[in-house]
Structure 1
């Protein structure tokens, strides 16, 4: 019933859309149960990570030691709230009012607003810098091994930056096997894409 009522309301920090049910559940069951100080520190660590800082896993685990899932869902919820509040240019006052309407106590909301006020400009700039980049490919390395790679295939190591894993951004590594004919075709297509992008850059 609660989620149905909130589905009728639109929220500025959600882009004038509905608040996802999982965010509502986390606000009520998790964020509200953190101490005000820990919520503010946790929100600041998440904001720093959004802005390109290191992921302080030990600090996050310490702040969320009373929660289940090592605080992963809490971090994912805060990440969603701060990213969207900055993306939709939601003021601290409106953000505070809306998350209180969703069940976050007033003092807890004030703590999150303090972090948003301090970090919103940096988060917004990071979003601009990262526009159109999802799971950014950092590098590709040929790790073909005569003893392990299947015949007529090549083994590539792909390093991905900020891939979302269980709601948390992490740097990941993936190993894939490609048939050599497919790899040659892929290389040719990538060359065509590069030429097209070069043409647009030269026009600018």
Structure 2
């Protein structure tokens, strides 16, 4: 720190340089960038060759550890371990054979994430009209997510053509 202060580099510039270096290392590991490619990219960014060689060698030497660390810090959503459903048609009266409104019941067990305790089983019962409304809302949400996903895919492909 003394050397950087004597060189006239302030703390915000140090933080910026470390953030950029962190970004480069994380993405080199994430996208399995080879040592040679990382070395060339660092030099193209203006990093001196001695520093570029040290950085690329250290990234290559610690690639497995870094990949494992990054994977452990990645946000994970639970998946469904078990999903059961049934539709009940209650009989209003034994002698009349009249059937009431159907009732839809779900039982969902999400998987645990990592070392966390498993999530509790969720049990849901609803009428057929509530189920129809839920399905309509889920279809709308799915369409919106598909639109967002397709717009993100098209914007990322157009930005890659600019490079």
Q: TM-score range by the shorter chain?
A: 0.3 to 0.5
Greater RCO (Cα-Cα under 8 Å, separation 6 or more):
1
**TM-score w.r.t. length of structure 2:** 0.42
Structure number, greater radius of gyration: 2
TM-score, normalised with respect to structure 1: 0.34
